[in-house]
Amino acid sequence: MKSLRTRSQERILRLLKSIRKGISAQDIYVQLRNKNQGMGLATVYRSLEALKLEGLVQVRTLANGEALYSLAVRDKHHLTCLQCGASITINQCPAHELESQLQDTHKFKIFYHTLEFFGLCKKCQSLQT
């Protein structure tokens, strides 16, 4: 059942659809304000939380602790460098079968999953030698 969304939630969804990449809540706040669609920062966070619980928005926390919000996409996988913060998207997914098993075994509705590996990129490895 689709729930009724607030005007703030709809504005955030439209913004996320238009930028198609991860963005912080603070940047969402600034971008909406710049488009004369401003709302309080607390409203941005509340709206993001509601959209996340609906399975429409996902959050990815970077190595530096920054949270990036984006439209929920079926699978997201990354290699993230702990030194420079570079993030490389990987397209293979070893977790599809596990996801199906978990849904069946635990009667748990999975909206999406992420898989992230942390280490050093080639450039940062070469700086260590």
How big is the chain, counted in residues?
129
46 and 68: one domain?
Answer: yes
> Which pTM value belongs to this model?
0.65
Distance separating alpha carbons of residues 58 and 21, to the nearest angstrom: 11
Helix (H) or strand (E) run with residue 57 in it? strand 57-61
Provide the token pair at 7. Answer: 């005007």
- Range of the structural domain that residue 7 is part of: 1-72
Give pLDDT < 70 ranges for the chain. Answer: 1-3, 74-75, 129
Each residue's pLDDT tens digit, 32-55: 999 998 899 999 999 999 999 988
Contact 52, 16 (CB under 8 A): no
53 and 63: one domain?
Answer: yes
At which of 72, 92, 110 does a domain end? 72
